[in-house]
Structure 1
Amino acid sequence: MAGRARKHRRGLTMIFALTNKGQLRWTTFNAPLDAKTLLAFLRRLVLGSNKKVFLIMDDLKVHDERLVQTWLTEHEDDIEAFPLPARRAPAG
């Protein structure tokens, strides 16, 4: 029916990383981003690099999950994450 909201959302989720040389590493999937999916992406990112990865991450909650933070700590020789500041609503 026209004007009714759909019950089930359909779409893709995409995560990506861009190197300082312009190379794009990305993946898409049919679910919200969770810790296991993020870790699979980070593992491939590290394996595909011959140098340490410096990763700037936005303020998604999944980035702060214990599983992700533990993995980043265990792999600090291979990858270092820099979180962006949390987004705030404009004052006024």
Structure 2
Amino acid sequence: MQKVGKLDTKVNGQSIQPVSSSAQITEMTARNSTTRKQEVKASIQELDSRIASRVKAAISPSALPQIFKNALTVPILLDIIKYVATFFV
């Protein structure tokens, strides 16, 4: 069995202890993951905004009834909207 020495250090009268490198890596990984998630979310929102503006410009409101005429029921439309929305969440 090995003896482990005391690793406490005093700074300004306060006792501090070293942090293991694995704890530092875990914390850095968590921060990086959070940052990446925020960047991806912002990117998705920007893409969503561009797509929405292009769709609005491409399809006139008077053409919408013709697009869905006789083909889709309300429950099917809701399923399609939910499915498409999963791409933007």
TM-score by length of 2: 0.24
Question: Bigger radius of gyration, 1 or 2?
Answer: 2
> Per chain length, whose mean CA-contact separation is higher, i.e. which structure has more relative contact order (CA < 8 Å, sep 6+)?
1
TM-score by length of 1: 0.23
Q: Which has the larger strand fraction?
A: 1
